[in-house]
Structure 1
Amino acid sequence: MLEAARLSPSGGNGQSYRFGVIKDANLKEELAHAAGEQMWIAEAPVVIACCADISWDLLGLPEDDFGLIVNKLRFSEEFIEYLNKYPNRKSVKTLLANPTPLIPAEHMYLVAVSHGLSACFIGFLDVEKANRILRLPENMVCLFLLPVGYPKDDTAPKEKKSAKEITFCETWKG
Structure 2
Amino acid sequence: MTTTSNSNLYSVMQARKSVRVFDPNFTIAKEEIEEMLKLATIAPSSSNLQSWRFLVIQDAAVKTELKGIANNQAQAEEASVVIAVLGDVDAYKKVEQIYTQNVAEGHMDDSIKDRTIANTHAVYPNVSAEVRMNIASFDAGLVSMQLMLIAKEKGYDTSTMGGFDKVKFAERFDLPENEFPIVLIALGKAAAPAYGSSRLPMDEIVRFI
1:27-42 mapped onto 2 (5 Å cutoff): 27-42=62-77
Instruction: Answer 1 or 2: which has greater helix percent.
Output: 2
CA deviation profile, 1:50-102 (whole Å, cap 9, x unmatched): 00112379xxxxxxx6569xx9xxxxxxxxxxxx6xxxx6x775455432311
Aligned residues: percent identity? 29
What's the offset of the Cα at 1:147?
0.3
Contact 2:82 2:186 in 1 (8 A): yes
* Aligned position for 1:135: 174
- 2:54 pairs with 6, 9, 19, which one? 19
* Aligned position for 1:74: none
Contact 1:33 1:39 in 2 (8 A): no
The 3-state SS of whatever aligns with 1:157 is coil
TM-score (norm 2): 0.59
Letter in 1 for 2:197: K
1:132/1:118 CA distance change after superposition, 3 Å: same
- 1:2 pairs with 37, 45, 59, which one? 37
Q: 2 CA distance for matches of 1:155 and 1:123? A: 18
Q: Structure 2: which 5+ residue stretches go unaligned?
A: 1-35, 93-121
The 3-state SS of whatever aligns with 1:121 is strand
RMSD: 3.1
Q: 1 CA distance for matches of 2:161 and 2:139? A: 15
What's the offset of the Cα at 1:15?
0.8
Letter in 2 for 1:5: A
* Aligned position for 2:159: 120
TM-score (norm 1): 0.69
- 2:81 pairs with 41, 46, 54, which one? 46
1:155/1:8 CA distance change after superposition, 3 Å: closer
The 3-state SS of whatever aligns with 1:20 is strand
What's the offset of the Cα at 1:148?
0.6
121-130 vs 42-51, greater mean Cα deviation:
121-130
Q: 2 CA distance for matches of 1:110 and 1:26? A: 28
Q: 2 CA distance for matches of 1:96 and 1:13? A: 11
CA deviation profile, 1:127-164 (whole Å, cap 9, x unmatched): 11111222211111111100011123443322344667
Q: 1 CA distance for matches of 2:191 and 2:202? A: 27
Contact 1:125 1:143 in 2 (8 A): no
1:1-174 mapped onto 2 (5 Å cutoff): 1-55=36-90, 94=133, 97-161=136-200, 166-169=205-208, 171=209
1:5/1:38 CA distance change after superposition, 3 Å: same
CA deviation profile, 1:21-60 (whole Å, cap 9, x unmatched): 1101122122221122213321000100100112379xxx
The 3-state SS of whatever aligns with 1:141 is strand
